[in-house]
Amino acid sequence: MIRAVLDTNVLISGTLWNGPPSQILKTTNKFQLLLSEDILKEFERVLLYPKLARYISRTGKIIPDLSNEIWNAAEHVTPTSIPDNVVRDENDRIILAAALGGHADYLVSGDDDLLDVGVSYMNVKIVNPSTFLVLLAQVT
């Protein structure tokens, strides 16, 4: 089974809006979602942004419910350390560290800082949500 870490922006978008990230979250039967405690904390922190309140209310859920859904759908992984200079944005290090620690096949992100790392990093392929959906469509 494909093992993948979803960047926080993909998790947020998939939780609150329709589009490729939402479709990814609806197909967790086709891949193993990997999640670290650091990513979960970042997910919860971003959901607290006031500008997201109306989108969260549209889900009919509260932040702890959304957080629990993501946590319960995932395999929990322990991040590994990575060099400071691999990504420009230090916040993105937790995503890549979880992908490496969880032996992910893919890291899915819309973040240019992560996508700029290259096609892959230490055997973890870095792709955007649309590309990942194409890959998932090939899984039976």
So what's the pLDDT on residue 15? 97
So what's the pLDDT on residue 48? 97
* Full residue range of the structural domain in which residue 50 is found: 2-137
Tokens 């970042």 belong to 42
So what's the pLDDT on residue 87? 66
Average pLDDT of every residue of the chain: 91
CATH code, domain carrying 27: 3.40.50.1010
pLDDT at 118 over 90: no
The count of domains in the chain is 1
So what's the pLDDT on residue 82? 80
So what's the pLDDT on residue 119? 62
